[in-house]
């Protein structure tokens, strides 16, 4: 359960590492992270926050909304991960300066911009905070590894169930999921991009999930009758999210 006072005290960054390693942040470190933000920007559905090859001098904290990390090939867009509020979406570009992929909004989003010079100073002053920022970036790598494996192993209905299971867990970590599912601006086309399937196969797979009582996706809402049924069908184990369990942050 997310402490709502954290969001009140730190309205821009209060969800950062929530459900994972936020407990390891001191009060001064939380204030330092909030103070890293230079400005906030509201963006629209479909906006591209960063395009492949852009020079990056700031990194983005997602405050509200959803984002996709995407690649384009042969005129098609492929979603290789998604982001929820509290994610430091493009901290990679602090080190890389150029990304090999795009960051796209799904639905309206509010973002907080963090200049790289402020990150440099914070990491120099506070190595512990630097470790937690590094931890945040390495979480993305853990998610990518899991997606690569699951896309190879699972059928399309089970891939979609896997995506639903992960989104639900991640939203719960930051206090935005609920007992029966979650709200999302994702469309069937977005889900097709995420699971590597055609729109027709995705539509059929979602119909199968609905018919079997595993998950019902319609009008921006995913309803789930049983977490156990969903996660068993998807062969989903949440350890790689580094929340509770053997891989939790220590």
Q: Which residue ranges of the chain lie beneath pLDDT 70?
A: 1
Residue 112 pLDDT = 98
- pLDDT at 135 (0 to 100): 94
| CATH top class, domain 4-140 | mainly beta
* Four-CA torsion 32, 34, 39, 44, nearest 10 degrees: 140
Taking the model in full, what pTM does it have?
Answer: 0.94
Within 10-63, where are the H helices?
27-35
**CATH number assigned to the domain covering 150-241:** 1.10.10.10
Cα–Cα distance, 67 to 234 (Å, whole number): 23
Output phi, psi for 141, to 5 deg: -65, -40
Residue (of 35, 243, 230, 39) closest to 139 by Cα position: 243
Range(s) of the chain covered by CATH 1.10.10.10: 150-241
Q: Write out pLDDT tens, residues 61-79.
A: 999 999 999 999 888 899 9
Contacts 24+ apart (CB under 8 A), 71-76: 71/100, 71/101, 71/102, 72/102
- Cβ burial 118-146 (10 Å sphere, 16+ → b, else e): bbeebbeebeebeebbeebeebbeebeeb
For 34, 89, 91, 198, the CA distances from 16, given in Å and listed in that order, are 10, 11, 12, 34
The pLDDT value given to residue 136: 94
Residue 39 has a pLDDT of 98
Distance in angstroms (rounded) separating the CA atoms of residues 23 and 1: 13
Cα distance between residue 170 and residue 172, in whole Å: 5
pLDDT of residue 247: 83
Task: Count the Cβ atoms, other than its own, within 10 Å of residue 44.
Answer: 10
Output the CA torsion sign for 92, 197, 239, 213: positive
* CATH 2.60.120.10, the chain: domain bounds: 4-140
The Cα 106–Cα 205 span in angstroms is 21
d(CA 223, CA 215): 6
Radius of gyration of the chain (CA): 18
Place of tokens 């192993």: 153
What pLDDT is stored for residue 1 in this prediction? 62
């Amino acid at each position: 359960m997310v402490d709502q006072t954290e969001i009140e005290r730190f309205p821009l960054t209060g969800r950062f590492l929530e459900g994972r390693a936020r407990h390891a942040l001191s009060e001064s470190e939380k204030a330092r992270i909030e103070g890293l933000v230079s400005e906030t920007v509201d963006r629209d559905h479909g906006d591209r926050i960063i395009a492949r090859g852009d020079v990056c001098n700031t990194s983005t904290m997602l405050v509200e909304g959803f984002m996709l990390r995407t690649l384009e090939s042969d005129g098609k867009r492929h979603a290789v991960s998604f982001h929820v509020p509290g994610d430091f979406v493009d901290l990679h570009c602090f080190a890389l300066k150029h990304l090999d992929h795009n960051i796209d909004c799904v639905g309206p989003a509010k973002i907080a911009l963090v200049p790289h010079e402020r990150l440099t100073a914070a990491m120099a002053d506070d190595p512990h905070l630097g470790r937690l920022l590094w931890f945040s970036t390495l979480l993305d790598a853990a998610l990518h590894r899991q997606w690569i494996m699951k896309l190879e192993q699972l059928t399309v209905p089970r891939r979609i169930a896997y995506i639903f299971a992960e989104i639900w867990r991640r939203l719960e970590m930051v206090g935005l999921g609920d007992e029966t599912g979650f709200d999302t601006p994702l469309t069937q086309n977005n889900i097709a991009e995420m699971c590597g399937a055609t729109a027709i196969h995705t539509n059929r797979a979602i119909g199968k999930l609905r018919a079997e009582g595993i998950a019902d996706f319609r009008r921006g809402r995913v309803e789930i009758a049983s977490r156990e049924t969903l996660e068993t069908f998807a062969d989903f184990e949440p350890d790689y999210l580094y929340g509770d369990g053997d891989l939790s942050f220590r």
